[in-house]
Structure 1
């Protein structure tokens, strides 16, 4: 008897395979991978369960499901991750954008007028940019911004540049790119009104607590710091010099150490510090204003 080759059959078989491999949401992942392959909205799979897959589609789908069974993240398999209103290209040289970072962008998007008014032209730096999700989103969302993206990794900047070219840019906004270890390669005269950053902030001592999907595939350079407080002292002190008067620094960081970072910031010259909660009520973001 010939094995079925329609969508429902492959979803069932793939779900069973991923479940045996210990993948947390096997059916959902099987659906996302197939909907991406077929260029079909996931919800529409349910209306086309009897549609057969071609020989090539079957081959590619099986390869991708095997990759997922090895805990390769779905975003790296499909090469994209939705973030805010856009789809970002991602590969193993950049972190997969997280919902918390999306919240950081959303918070600034909703609150920037309170700092700079309606018409001010503001200079924004996305420090440790990775895929460019923070800076490129804001470059498309806000009317009066000049945006710089910087990262230590040349490979990450290549991904960010690709996203700049492919994400819709109706206002044809220019974005500037800098390869730098924090602010090391920045021109002395270059300063900003806003610095936003999701830097590496997981202490290396917590490495073994991460899921296999993260630990085996995502770039450790963007995840871990050997010396959490030493790294952040450098970041905060150098950022202070690069922020214009009345400018702000908005930082995503480790909830367990954010109170200490707030105290550190006050000793480095930031008198106005506020801790913001993420949607899980964790102390996730540090807002610093330079008076």
Structure 2
């Protein structure tokens, strides 16, 4: 008996295979991998169930499903991840952009006119930029801004530069990329009106609690810190010295440490601050005013 070659047939078989392998959302992942392969919006798959797949499409789809069954993240298989209305290139040198980071960008952009009401060309810094999702999104959303982006990983910076070239339209101010361990390579006199950051913030002792998809594939340098407090004290001190008076620091962080960051920031000299919760009601963001 000849095996069917329809979209629906392979979607069902792939879902069943991923489910047996313990993948958390087998149908969703199977759909994302197929929609990307066919260059179709995921919702469009439902109107194309009887569409025949070519032998090459079937072969490639099978390869993708096998990769996902080994817990490799969908974003690394497709090479991209949607973030704030744009598709960003990602690979194993960068974290996969998360919804929480998108919330940080959304909040900052919605309040940017208030922050910079008297500053026509604000200086912004994306610290620990990774894929560049924060810096590149802000370059689209606040085109008048002068944006800097730093990362310790040269490989991550190459990804960020690629995203800047592909996502940012011609004529937009170029982002200044710099390889740096936090603020080390920034000139001491360089000041910013705002610093945003999604730095590594998972304590090493929590490694055992991390999903295989993350632990076995995403860069540990961007995830884990040996000493959370020492690292973040260095970050807070550097941010304080590189912020203009009236500037703000907006950090994504570990919910268990948000209160500590707020208090330490005030000890360093930040005038005010607040903790903001993410959509899961966790204390995910700390905002400090210089």
TM-score (normalised: structure 2): 0.98
CA distance in structure 2 between the aligned counterparts of 1:286 and 1:210, rounded to whole angstroms: 23
1:194 touches 1:248 (CA, 8 Å); kept in 2?
yes
1:95 touches 1:130 (CA, 8 Å); kept in 2?
yes
Give the SS at the match of 2:269: coil
Match of 1:109 in 2: 109
2:41 maps to 1:22? no
Give the SS at the match of 1:50: coil
Match of 2:43 in 1: 43
**What is the deviation of 1:171?**
4.0
Match of 2:80 in 1: 80
**What is the deviation of 1:172?**
2.4
1:215-241 deviation digits (Å, cap 9, x = unpaired): 010000000001000000000001110
2:212 maps to 1:212? yes
1:6-44 deviation digits (Å, cap 9, x = unpaired): 101100110010000000110111011000000011111
1:7 touches 1:52 (CA, 8 Å); kept in 2?
yes
1:173-194 deviation digits (Å, cap 9, x = unpaired): 2111000000111122221111
**What is the deviation of 1:143?**
3.5
Mapping of 1:1-291 within 5 angstroms?
1-117=1-117, 120-290=120-290
5+ residue gaps, structure 1: none
CA distance in structure 2 between the aligned counterparts of 1:130 and 1:119, rounded to whole angstroms: 27
Q: CA RMSD in A?
A: 1.0
**What is the deviation of 1:168?**
3.9
CA distance in structure 2 between the aligned counterparts of 1:88 and 1:288, rounded to whole angstroms: 29
Q: After alignment, is 116-125 or 92-101 more displaced? A: 116-125
1:119 touches 1:144 (CA, 8 Å); kept in 2?
no
**What is the deviation of 1:48?**
1.1
Residues 116 and 62 of structure 1: is their aligned pair in 2 closer, same or farther, counting only changes over 3 Å?
same
CA distance in structure 1 between the aligned counterparts of 2:43 and 2:245, rounded to whole angstroms: 49
Give the SS at the match of 2:59: helix
**What is the deviation of 1:170?**
4.9
2:143 touches 2:172 (CA, 8 Å); kept in 1?
no
1:103-129 deviation digits (Å, cap 9, x = unpaired): 000000001122220662100000000
Give the SS at the match of 1:217: coil
Give the SS at the match of 1:258: helix
5+ residue gaps, structure 2: none
Q: State how many pairs are aligned.
A: 290
**What is the deviation of 1:209?**
0.2
TM-score (normalised: structure 1): 0.98
Give the SS at the match of 1:266: helix
Dislocated runs of 4+, deviation >3 Å = none
